């Protein structure tokens, strides 16, 4: 028994404490998938404003935390930070090495497991994908203006 405890102590000292599901924690800004209400990728943050959807999640599930990826441009996060202050929602900007590797830009998390099946904002709120609306309303070409 004594040698097992000593081996565990040495392992923790050399490699750090054992972490549950490190791949999930790396992807979801230090949190686990089972704790997430809503996630938005960096690409989605930069292309579309999902403030209404985030506000809806915060009002439905108050007293939780917004996690922001520190590698995202602050202008893309500004409206969400203001929203969290208005709704008295705590937030944290994650700037560790895992955040730089993650494609997730924003996560709304609970301190305990909630097991929400669909967490991506586009899948959870399909009618609010404004990016598709922008692509549909393309400009007419110069000649089509005159000949159509």
Residue 145, in any domain of the structure: no
Q: How far is CA 61 from CA 68, 105, 110, in A?
A: 18, 20, 9
- In which domain, by residue range, is 101 found? 20-128
Q: What is the pTM of this model?
A: 0.75
d(CA 94, CA 97): 9
Note whether 94 and 67 are within 8 A (CB). Answer: yes
How, if at all, do strands 65-69 and 104-109 pair? antiparallel
Residue 148, in any domain of the structure: no
d(CA 79, CA 101): 23
Task: Provide the phi-psi class of 147: left if phi over 0, else alpha when psi is between -120 and 50, else beta.
Answer: alpha
Residue 13, in any domain of the structure: no
Q: How many domains does the chain have?
A: 1
68: CATH? 3.30.1330.30
* Tens of pLDDT, residue by residue, the chain (148 residues): 577 888 877 877 777 666 778 788 888 998 999 999 999 999 999 999 999 999 999 999 999 999 999 999 999 999 999 999 999 999 999 998 888 889 999 999 999 999 999 999 999 999 865 544 444 445 556 555 666 5
């Amino acid at each position: 028994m004594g040698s097992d405890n000593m081996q565990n102590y040495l392992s923790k000292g050399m490699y750090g404490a054992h972490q549950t599901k490190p791949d999930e924690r790396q992807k979801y800004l230090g949190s686990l998938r089972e704790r997430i209400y809503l996630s938005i990728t960096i690409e989605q943050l930069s292309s579309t404003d999902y403030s209404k959807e985030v506000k809806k999640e915060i009002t439905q599930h108050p007293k939780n935390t917004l996690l922001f990826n520190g590698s995202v441009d602050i202008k893309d996060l500004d409206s969400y930070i203001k929203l969290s202050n208005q709704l008295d929602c705590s937030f944290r900007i994650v700037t560790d090495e895992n955040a730089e590797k993650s494609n997730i830009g924003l996560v709304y998390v609970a301190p305990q497991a909630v097991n929400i099946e669909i967490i991506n904002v586009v899948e959870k709120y399909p009618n609010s994908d404004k990016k598709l609306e922008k692509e549909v309303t393309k400009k007419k070409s110069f000649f089509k203006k005159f000949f159509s």
